[in-house]
Amino acid sequence: MLAKRVDVGADALGDPGASMWERFPARKVALVPTPVGMQPSKYIMAKWRDGEFGHTSAAGLQAAHNGQELAFRLEWECQKSVTTINDNDQFADAAALLFPLTEDAPLIMGMEGAPVNIWYWRADQPKMGLNNVADGIGTSRLTSSPLITTQGAHADGRWSLVFRRALAAAADAPTTGNVAKFEPGKDYRLAVALWSGANSERAGLKAYSPVWVELSLEG
């Protein structure tokens, strides 16, 4: 997949409704539920043994950059959106992009010595993208930088969402090893995960892309 170089400002780049996104096609990324056997606790395995989660089967993915900022736009079907949590048993919709930080980082949450960088968005905290680093299931940790901006919109039973980050953010991040680096003209990989709040999905209860999506940043 190509992250097109576009000549637009950061605001348009970060807007899932910007007309710019209509100019190039979305890559359809197939998603599957995380296997029940990989759920990290016996309780979760017992409760969800029927595998009734992670039903979102595909997401549309687009990427673009303007030389300064890199943006990813995700679009997926979600008939019942949850954007606020008022009660104990409510969970908000969420999405994440995962980038390997080493050649051999496993697609599911990385492993020790082969971490992954995760950009996370949750519908109840809509503007704040969270930068995480993980080196195994259940290990994701929030890092205070770099700044990831997110903007989501739900309409007609679909979410559209943009993650945006400064291309060079890795250079000035205090923990550079924990942050995905991007340079125009180079190739990368990423994976996608989605959580349906209406189905109480959180943590490992999600739909994810089981194969890496190849990504090239246009020079």
Site residues (CB under 8 A) for other proteins? 39-47, 85-89, 112, 135-140, 202-204
Nearer to other proteins, 34 or 62 (CB): 34
Q: At closest approach, how far in Å is the CB of 112 from other proteins?
A: 6
The separation between CA 150 and the C-alpha centre of its own chain, rounded to angstroms, equals 10
Residue 2: partners with Cβ closer than 8 Å, 6 or more residues away:
24, 63, 215, 216, 218
Nearer to other proteins, 99 or 120 (CB): 120
Beta bridge partner(s), residue 104: none
Half-sphere exposure of residue 119: CA atoms within 13 angstroms, side-chain side: 27
Nearer to other proteins, 34 or 151 (CB): 34
Nearer to other proteins, 15 or 201 (CB): 201
Q: At closest approach, how far in Å is the CB of 142 from other proteins?
A: 9
Are the CB atoms for 207 and 96 separated by under 8 Å?
no
Q: At closest approach, how far in Å is the CB of 130 from other proteins?
A: 10
The CA-to-CA distance between both ends of the chain, in Å, stands at: 14
Beta bridge partner(s), residue 58: 30
Q: At closest approach, how far in Å is the CB of 20 from other proteins?
A: 34
